[in-house]
Chains A and B, each alone.
Chain A
């Protein structure tokens, strides 16, 4: 049985590329955008929502998942692949707590997810996961963390990062506008994440979902009303800036 699955699908090309991995990254590039911004005491995740489905129950489409009480993940890419990885990570979070009596650090669980993603680029009979994840949470010492993984299995920490379609535009916006002052408090960080996402997504609560993680508190997913409030504020600020430029 295993003889039929020992042939690798991901193999090197003559010029050193792993095409399956690169194709997986292409799948991520076609998926809905996700953005993460790390603030001083808060981490904000924003994801683009599909707005065209009328008959679907939106409560059952979640792009932001909790891995444990203090860790949360958003992704861009194949939803079904994400479900598998999120489940494995959840089991690992509990297993770690059971054996070591401590909750996982964000670094540990990101490394765990990245290792699984890498394993699937070097095993027989399987294809890489078509997702990039943004893992957020607070370490036991209280530092906020934002990590990203990709289909190749690389991971690193970020102050702010975007993935999915138009990630480049969002990242450029963040590079221009991210600073310690812009993320000094919760509201500012939320606004920065929303502004970054609104660069590439149509504005309105129908199209974006924002989640806020605070130290020692459960994840807060902003209600549609609050999202619309923030959108109004951002648009008002933009108009005021344009008016003063003129």
Chain B
């Protein structure tokens, strides 16, 4: 599965599955969950190429507008290209109509584009789209590279998700305050660091609430 080097009788060893074959076996970890009046999104900050850590302060999220965040994991080129493509199209829509689209609309638009390209030139990206609307409150949408989409209270992508989904099943409850949410996010990140053999030392955590999108630091425990 993960992280072993096959030495073959060819002159150079074959590296297998460490970076994930085309992002399907995604190594980028994304965690997201909804609280009382906010959404928290965490993404790891490592960019890998084979066994090398190319960058350790990568921001894998892209802000779509004042109250929406798109977090992507997977194939790095696709992540940047697709993310920017969606962001600019949402900006165009805002300028055309004069108002910001709802998170629901933005999520469905994103999923639609993923679906459109799936059978042409697919984007190997997994997505968590988070947003805050004044009438609906906080919302989180989970999408995978096959363009399936679910509106969820708690979600994750990458190998880390195998662990944190259990953590969140146990510890998440509806209507948590921001402090409780941050403690829970800290616990999730700690879980990945403890249990995943390849992981990132740093996670970038962002919160979206009525005041917009900002970076936030969970307490160290």
A residues in contact (CB < 8 Å) with B:
66-68, 87, 90-91, 93-95, 97-98
Task: For A94, list chain B residues within 8 Å (CB).
Answer: 88-89, 91-92
B30 → chain A closest CB, angstroms: 23
Q: In the complex, what's the smallest C-beta–C-beta distance from A60 to chain B, in angstroms?
A: 10
How far is B89's CA from A93's CA once the two chains are assembled, in angstroms? 11
CB closest residue in chain A, given B95: A90
Q: B158 → chain A, closest Cβ, in Å?
A: 27
In chain A, what residue has the closest Cβ to B89?
Answer: A94
Please give the residue numbers on chain B whose beta carbons come within 8 Å of chain A beta carbons, in ascending order: 84-85, 88-89, 91-92, 95-96
B95 touches A67 (CB 8 A): yes
On chain A, the residues within 8 Å of B85 by CB distance are: 98
User: How far is it, in angstroms, between the C-alpha of A98 and the C-alpha of B84 when the chains are bound?
Assistant: 7
In the complex, chain A residues whose CB is within 8 Å of the CB of B96: 87, 90
Which residues of the other chain, B, contact A87 by a CB distance below 8 angstroms?
96
Q: List 20 A-B pairs, Cβ < 8 Å.
A: A66-B95, A67-B95, A68-B95, A87-B96, A90-B92, A90-B95, A90-B96, A91-B92, A93-B92, A93-B95, A94-B88, A94-B89, A94-B91, A94-B92, A95-B88, A97-B88, A97-B91, A98-B84, A98-B85, A98-B88
Q: Which residues of B contact A93 (CB under 8 A)?
A: 92, 95
Additional A-B contact list (10), CB under 8 Å, known A68-B95, A91-B92: A67-B95, A87-B96, A90-B92, A90-B95, A94-B88, A94-B91, A95-B88, A97-B88, A97-B91, A98-B84
Contacting residues, chain A, for B89 (C-beta < 8 A)? 94
Residues of A within 8 A of B91 (CB): 94, 97
Most chain B CB inside 10 Å of its own CB: which residue of A66, A94, A95: A94
Contacts of A66 in B (CB 8 A): 95
How distant is A97 from chain B, measured CB to nearest CB, in Å?
A: 6
Q: Which of B84, B88, B89 has the most CB of A within 10 A?
A: B88
Contacting residues, chain A, for B84 (C-beta < 8 A): 98
CA distance in complex: A103, B122 (Å): 28
Query: Which residue from chain B places its CB closest to the CB of A62 in the assembled complex?
Result: B98
Nearest 7 pairs of A and B residues by beta carbon: A94-B88, A98-B88, A94-B92, A90-B95, A66-B95, A94-B91, A98-B84
User: Roughly how many angstroms separate A94 CA and B94 CA in the complex, as a whole number?
Assistant: 11
A144 to B92, CA, bound (A): 23
Shortest distance between the CB of B183 and any CB in chain A (Å): 37
Chain A nearest CB from B64 CB (Å) reads 13
Closest to B85 in A: A98
CB distance from B185 to the nearest CB of A (A): 31
Q: Which residues of B contact A68 (CB under 8 A)?
A: 95
CA distance A95 to B91 in the complex (A): 11
Looking across the interface, which residue of chain A has its beta carbon closest to that of B90? A94
Contacts of A91 in B (CB 8 A): 92
Write the nearest CB–CB distance from A230 to chain B, whole angstroms.
Answer: 25
Q: Please give the distance in Å from A95's CB to the nearest CB on chain B.
A: 7
The distance in angstroms between the C-alpha atoms of A155 and B84, with both chains bound, is 32
Which A residues are in CB contact (< 8 Å) with B92?
90-91, 93-94
Among residues of A, the one whose C-beta sits closest to the C-beta of B91 is A94
In the complex, the chain B residue whose C-beta lies closest to that of A92 is B92
User: What is the chain B residue whose CB lies nearest that of A89?
Assistant: B95
How far apart sit A91 and B93, CA to CA, in the bound complex (Å)? 9
How far is the CB of A92 from the nearest CB of chain B, in Å? Answer: 10
Q: Tell me, in angstroms, the Cα distance from A5 to B171 when the chains sit together.
A: 68
For the complex, give the distance between the alpha carbons of A222 and B95 in Å: 19
B199 CB to closest chain A CB, in angstroms?
31
Measured between alpha carbons, how far is A155 from B88 in the docked complex, in Å? 27
**Contact partners of B88 in chain A: CB under 8 A:** 94-95, 97-98
- Considering the chains assembled together, what is the distance between the CA atoms of A68 and B92 in angstroms? 8
CA distance A91 to B95 in the complex (A): 10
